[in-house]
Amino acid sequence: MLDKGRISSLQLLFLLSMTELATAFLYVPTITAKAAGPDGWISLLVPVTVYASLVVLVCVSLARRYPFQVFTEYLPDVVGTIPGKLIAGISTLVLIHITSVMVVEGAQFIQTNFLTETPVLVLQSVLALVAVYGASMGIEVIARHNEMVFPIFLLSLTTLILLVCKDINLNNFRPMLENGVVPVLKGAMTPAVWRGELYIILWLYPYLNQKKEDYQAAFGMVLLAGIVSTLVVATTIGVFGDLYTARLVYAANTLARYISVAGILERLELFIVIMWVAGLIVKLGIFFHTASIAAATTLNLKNYRILVGPVALTTIIIGNIFYGSYVQVVEFLSKVWPYYGGIIQLAIPGLVLLIAVLRKKGINNEA
Amino acid sequence: MNIFRRFFNKKPQPRQPDSFLDTGNGTSYPDSPSLSRNLIRNRETIRVVFENCDDLIIHEVSLGPNHATPALIIYFSSIIKSEVLQTGLMSVLLNPQNYGGSNISLDLLKNRVIPTGQVSEERNWPAIIDGICRASVALIIDGEDGALLINMPGENHRAISQPITQSAAAGPADAFNEDINTNLALLRKRLPTSNLAVEKFMIGSVTKTEVDIVYLRDLIHKELAGEIKTRLDRIQTDGILSAGQIEEQLQDSPYSLFSGIDSSERPDKVASALLEGSAAVMTDGTPFVLLMPTTMANQMTASDDYALRYWYASFIRIIRWSALFIAALAPAIYVALISYHQELIPPSLLVTVVANREGVPFPAFVEAFFMELSFETLREAGIRLPKTFGQTISIVGTIVVGQAAVSAGIVSSGMVVIVALTAIASYSIPSFTLSNNVRLLRFFFMILGGFLGLFGIMAGVSLLSLHLCSVRSFGIPYMSPLAPLSLGDLKDTLIRVPNWMMNDRPRLTAYQTRRQSPNMKPHPPAPDDASSKRKDKPDAG
């Protein structure tokens, strides 16, 4: 293993939850409300959870076969050297690609809402620099940092929801399932791949120190993130109605701006930006770490740390070339990302798992 | 990658022998390490070795039953206790009856004549020179190639007084001083057990400073004591004059702002740390004792917390943790709000703030930086100034920097409030080391807040938090028990639970974790118990 760190199952749960919640809750209400209308919260509650559970089942049972190696390390052993290296290379590139979207999302949000005159490149570089420091310190450091950040993150999100829940109009959820289940499923597509990002457990599994609690941590994340994101979507739709939600740019931010308690507690989007930056740095840290480990194992390097910087630089360049504007990001997230993510999160690991079962590779836990 | 390796892992060069560094005696070292039987030649050697040392006294006397044996008594008049020399040594040696008629010899002198216990016999020069330099009287007699060293140090240290940097309202008021034996006595009095181990080291070729590792043998992880010894052994220098020099040598991450080592001048704090399985390193000549391993939670703990009721102690703890954030972040947040996020300030407040800033020529960032720098200068001046001028500086500080700067239109009054707030907050951090670090970090955050607003501050906080999570103190994560989270150890972190609930020592530091009986919760006597007791009690009326 390239990183000697050890993380507990609780830390894994927090890390995985942060990967969804950090970016998702800003975009999810808008994207889901567009497709599913007033039933957006059902999308988050049922289909997304089912999809994410499938990803958990596939990825964890695959990881269990090689408990001390990362995905890109054992691929050649499962499917043969050349196809293995090929898939490993593709997985690495995909990791770098989706990380570049995150960098862009983060910087754009901050530029739009807070620092309108600061060049977006500066914001991206600052985010990336901090995350690079975290990633090169190792997974243990990121996990511990997140252990402090995530509870605060969750607490502020809950407070935010509690403060606006008096303004929820239940009529906004009616009529329920007006157009059948198809819109619900459509609305679930983007959030599903967001929660499906927990497939990076394929790279985090070796660091888990209590391997018996792997399913608890992964399913725990599916439930925890499921409940929180359902609440966020339900609150947004409940307060603004689905039509207005679909037109919002950053729904959660608008929600925070809406809060007014006794005329003193106002303009709480400050907390959103703070939470968001903290969460995004953790998320970027995990993905930089994962992408560098994937690249290092694919290229048979002994040290992943020298790759963290180049990986971060690549993500910034890719992000600026392909996702220069908010529209491009949302187009990618709602039209391309679901299929793309589905292939990389479920299809490829599923295929590899199938081959591993058939060729009896790795440790067979079922026996 | 080889390039990197060559760059960063330079092989240590074998050290060239250096007579001054190795012995602390430079060139004036005697040619032959052993003494001569000839007293005249010994006297010449002493003269050469202690050239120009005018406070060295060489006393030539005749000893023995018949005053027939010439002898030399050599000492530094400045460091020995002269009354002891007169009454305890000279008068005894010069009285012929004390020899009982036997022939004079070092053994006789050591065992039968000299009444004090701290006598040792040495046969080579380095030990004798060292002894003379460390407040011993050397006695060399004719015809013997040895010397007696009689230790009689003068007591040139101050009395036990109150702590200077870590005062406490409730709780003991004694503090360590510069004498290591006094410090050990203060500890031994609090921990009277054979379990209290004291391992002595001598560091510094010139200063020969005594450095002691102190720990409770059954509570400490054996590797910790071993590791401290290894790191102390690495120190090869001419002098150790402060605990800070030792601290820099003991750090896990040598470049980090956070050393993971706490220093305290309070014996009760050290005793309680030892009881939790930590080790203490005492340095002779300084009242500051180093404690390791240390976590940030430890550094936020004051002795008062255990002297006061737990409700109040917990309240104070929460105040203190908030003060930590205020001390580090308040000016940065002020700058960020004023320069970038005016919309986040409530409208009524915004009006006042803007009205105050009317006429201030500088941007908020410059203003804040200027004010914080001048406050730090004031603080430094307050420490350096002779005590009698202390009043002056406080007047100059409040009137000039406070009021006058506002009315001259150089700074806004809001900024003065912020600076005062941070100053108060930074003094409520119990650990001197941590408080200094926070003071430095404040400037880092101000720069971030000035250039990137709240986003920059949050990025900085994340960077700091990531760094703090990577710092270890002798293997113990500095941020534990917060990260990694250890729920059982949170009982003494942000709040303090009642004493009868703190049954276990911190899980990571102590070797044995059970501290006390788990059934200590006090309760009133059970009903039937009480009635029977009341019956037994003789009626007062």
Rounded average pLDDT per 10-residue block, chain B, 541 residues: 51 58 56 80 87 88 83 89 83 81 78 80 86 88 86 82 83 88 93 93 88 92 90 89 89 89 91 91 93 90 88 93 95 92 83 85 90 87 78 74 79 88 91 91 95 91 94 89 84 87 82 82 76 50 42
Between CA B148 and CA B157 the distance in angstroms is 26
With a CB cutoff of 8 Å and minimum separation 6, the contacts of A1 are: A68, A69, A70, A206, A207
SS3 B472: strand
Q: What percent of chain A has pLDDT over 70?
A: 98
Element (H, E) at B21: helix B19-23
DSSP tag of B514: B
Residue A92: the pLDDT is 94
Instruction: Give A18-71 pLDDT, tens digit per residue.
Output: 988 887 777 888 888 888 888 888 888 889 999 999 999 999 999 999 999 999
Nearest to B166 by CA among B489, B519, B454, B432: B432
Angle, vertex CA A121, rays to CA A120 and CA A126, nearest 5? 100
Interchain CB contact of A133 with B (< 8 Å)? yes
Do A147 and B477 make contact, defined as CB atoms within 8 angstroms?
no
**B69-76: strand order across its sheet:** B56-63, B69-76, B136-141, B147-151, B119-122
Q: How many helices (H) and strands (E) does chain A have?
A: 17, 2
Q: In the A/B pair of chains, how many CB contacts fall below 8 A?
A: 89
Nearest to A240 by CA among A300, A172, A309: A172
Residue type, B278: S
Between CA B264 and CA B283 the distance in angstroms is 12
Residue B531: the pLDDT is 53
Residue B68: the pLDDT is 81
Angle, vertex CA A137, rays to CA A222 and CA A149, nearest 5? 45
A350 touches A58 (CB < 8 A): yes
Nearest to B353 by CA among B374, B367, B369: B367
Q: Which residues of A touch B454 (CB under 8 A)?
A: 114, 270, 273-274
> What sign does the CA torsion over B116, B118, B120, B124 have?
negative
Optimal mutation site among A130, A266, A286, A289, interface B, most CBs of chain B within 10 A = A130
Between CA A126 and CA A111 the distance in angstroms is 13
Between CA A300 and CA B294 the distance in angstroms is 39
Between CA A251 and CA A34 the distance in angstroms is 12
Interchain CB contact of A110 with B (< 8 Å)? yes
Residue B27: the pLDDT is 46
More confident residue, B325 or A264: B325
Angle, vertex CA A212, rays to CA A206 and CA A213, nearest 5? 90
Q: Select, from the ranges A290-299, A355-364, B401-410, the one with the highest average predicted confidence (pLDDT).
A: A290-299
Alpha carbon dihedral A8, A13, A14, A19, in 10-degree steps, equals 130
Do A274 and B453 make contact, defined as CB atoms within 8 angstroms?
no
The residue ranges of DSSP E strands in A48-98, in sequence order, are: none
Residue type, B358: E
CA distance to partner chain B, nearest, from residue A145 (Å) = 6
Between CA A237 and CA A26 the distance in angstroms is 13
DSSP tag of A184: H
Q: What percent of chain A has pLDDT over 90?
A: 46
More confident residue, A271 or A357: A357
Interchain CB contact of A299 with B (< 8 Å)? no
Six-digit token pair at A120? 């977006």
Q: Which residues of B touch A266 (CB under 8 A)?
A: 346
Between CA B213 and CA B232 the distance in angstroms is 10
Nearest by CB to residue B484, choosing from A144, A281, A285, is A144
Instruction: Give B241-287 pLDDT, tens digit per residue.
Output: 888 899 988 888 889 999 889 999 999 999 999 998 899 999 998 99
ipTM, 2 decimals? Answer: 0.93
Q: What is the DSSP string of B171-219?
A: S------S-HHHHHHHHHHHS-STTEEEEEEEE-TTT-EEEEEEEETTT
Residue B540: the pLDDT is 45
With a CB cutoff of 8 Å and minimum separation 6, the contacts of B413 are: B356, B406
- The dihedrals phi and psi of B417, each to the nearest 5 degrees, come to -60, -45
Between CA B174 and CA B163 the distance in angstroms is 7
Nearest to A317 by CA among B455, A303, A114, A309: A309
Do B1 and A133 make contact, defined as CB atoms within 8 angstroms?
no
Element (H, E) at B57: strand B56-63
Nearest by CB to residue B479, choosing from A114, A144, A282, is A144
Do B1 and A266 make contact, defined as CB atoms within 8 angstroms?
no
Between CA B272 and CA A176 the distance in angstroms is 63
CA distance to partner chain A, nearest, from residue B469 (Å) = 5
Six-digit token pair at A7? 């993380």
Six-digit token pair at A88? 């490993």
